[in-house]
Amino acid sequence: MTQAQRSQLAARVVGVYWLMLLGGLVLFTVARIDDTTVVVPLWVGAIGGTLLGQYLALHDLRSWLAAVIIAAAALYCEPLLPLGNATAQLWQAFLPAALCGFWSLGDRAGLAATWFPAVLWMLAILDGNDARLAPDGPAAVLLGGFAVLFVWFLHARESRRIGLWRSVAAEPLAPAQPIEVLREPPGRQLARVAWGVSTGAITVAITVWLVPPLWQTEELVGPAVQIDGAPAGCVPCCPLHPTARTQTARIKEYLGLGLGHDAHPTAPLDELACRACDGAAAVITVPGIAADGEPAIAVASAAGTGDVASPGARDLARTDRGSSIGTPLAEPDAVAPATAAWTDPGSLDLAGGSPAPPAVPGSLSWTDPGAPIETTASDLPPISAAPEPPLPPQIAPPRPPAPPPSTTTAAPAPISPPAAAPQPPQPPSRGGTGPPGAPHRTATDTLGTSVLRWLALILGGAVVLHGVRLALRPLRRLVHLRHLRRPFWSETLDQRVSNAWQLALIGLRDAGWRPGATEAPAQLARRAGVVGLDRCAAILERARHGVGLDAGDLADMQASADLAYGAARTGAGRFARAVGWLRWPLT
């Protein structure tokens, strides 16, 4: 077996595998385009590992040696890549990518080889999924797409295995010549297409329907939100309302890069003893809903009295939309100032319930939910000295937006708490609290429908193009037949005899007859037994042997060819005739 033959057999498997791999990487990149610290190491690790693994497989190295080389490569290169925190993600991607790349060209590990591409696809699928255990539109489409690629990959691997089976063995193999089709029933292509479509549909259905119920969630520590509860008096300045950390959840995956979903509060934060601070500024966090439907947290910063904000307040101040868990958060004084402010007396009970918003320091100001709001509380309620036992977590009910004060510079957006509505019962989750560094899913993190729209556009375009090509085939056939019968330009006598023979062959092919590679025309005529074909064969052989032909022979040839064409098609049946109009090449 030559190297060229080996490469030809492996090319399709490698191509499909890289399609799966790059597809997963691209989808993940689209979802997390702004997070280069995650995306770049993932690309480097995945591509580098896959290249190494497939290189080792194509050089026929044994599994143990390949594992040693992959591990050695990781150990050797690790200090050479100063990527900081990204190093762990790079090697987390590199090692399985190399192993799966190696297995992709192995004998029986095809399913195991698809694990790493599946991980990449699942990152994008889970990030783009709005519901937890039931993939919605884009996620379902991607899951189905991965299932189709998986079937395609298995098919490509089996084709390669058969190629190897026919070429390589411990015993000597007889070199086989290509299959010679002498007669074929019409419409087999349609059956194959139907089977392919059915298989793809079943696989997609199984995957989209049966896989998600198995998924397990893991809970993550999310941002802090304000909850209802009696204000607890304490020695330091106390917040108006106790706060609680939220918990988000995500589907567990090997690469812990998934985004959190469905934030909900957990137990209140363990506040330190604090005291009431008259006229002091308090840092208050107000949950809200951004215009795009994502939860937003309004943050007030402590100011004015010089009292030290409680840890809870600091936590509140750190609660910033879009900040990544696990990365250093901005200090309270780093919070951007409010651009619009108004008072919410209903919830905060400031200034004696007066709806008039003090647009001065000490008043509560609301901002655009998408940005932190700096609020100064001038009249905080009395706070008891000893903290009360924490109440069960409860999110403050949504507050309707009050009319903006006249002093505000812009109208505030309607605000509603993100997790104020009762949480639907979640399926039992395993794996308790996850790593606190998981980022929360925001609107920009979701896999944009634009990508899917583009994909659908490309797919639809390909289908339309194929349909147009199919639709043009009858026209192409008509033109071709017309030329064979009456050439559009002047041709020699021998060429016209050959044209007539081609016409007869087209009719034969419609009926399923195909000439053998070494079969003489007379032999084909005897085998097919179609009326007029023997006469065609006789004249053609005379032309091939240089025996002189005249116009009478040409007329005879054309008449016989027409007769054979019609007779062959007549015996083929309606279905075969219809399929014949769509076939290309014609012979």
- Nearest approach, Cβ of 553 to another protein (angstroms)? 32
* Shorter beta-carbon distance to another protein: residue 153 or 366: 153
| Cβ distance to another protein smaller for residue 501 or 513 | 513
Write the burial class of residue 219 (CB in 10 Å: 0-12 exposed, 13-18 middle, 19+ buried): buried
Q: Least distance in Å: CB of 97 to another protein?
A: 13
CA distance 57 to 160: 14
Whether 363 contacts 375, CB under 8 Å: yes
Q: What is the C-alpha separation between 196 and 199, in angstroms, rounded?
A: 5
What's the 3-state SS for 524-583?
HHHHHCCCCHHHHHHHHHHHHCCCCCCHHHHHHHHHHHHHHHHHHHHHHCHHHHHHHHHC
Separation of alpha carbons 515 and 528, rounded Å? 9
Within 8 A by CB and 6+ apart from 16, the residues are 149, 152, 153, 156
Nearer to another protein, 154 or 330 (CB): 154
CB of 102 to another protein, least distance (A): 8
Strand partners, 250: 218
Q: How far is the CB of 582 from another protein (least distance, A)?
A: 16
Q: Give the shortest CB-41-to-another protein separation in angstroms.
A: 18
CA dihedral sign, ordered 173, 178, 182, 185:
positive
Nearest by Cα to 263 from 318, 224, 317: 224
Select 110 or 362, whichever has its Cβ closest to another protein. 110
Least distance CB 47 / another protein (angstroms): 19
Closer CB to another protein, 114 or 499, in the complex: 114
For 35, counting Cβ atoms within 10 Å of its Cβ (0-12 exposed, 13-18 middle, 19+ buried), the class is middle
To another protein, the closest distance from the beta carbon of 441 in angstroms equals: 16
The whole-angstrom separation of Cα 501 and Cα 494 is 11
d(CA 130, CA 431): 21
Closer of 108 and 574 to another protein (Cβ)? 108
Q: Which is nearer to another protein, 221 or 274 (CB)?
A: 221
**Residue entry with tokens 């036992």:** 389
Nearest approach in angstroms of CB 123 to another protein is: 9
Least distance between another protein and beta carbon 72 (Å): 15
Please state the φ and ψ torsions of residue 35, each to the nearest 5 degrees: -105, 70
Smaller CB separation from another protein, 17 or 342: 17
**Two tokens, residue 239:** 């917040």
User: Are 397 and 409 in contact, with CB atoms under 8 Å apart?
Assistant: no
Q: Which is nearer to another protein, 80 or 214 (CB)?
A: 214
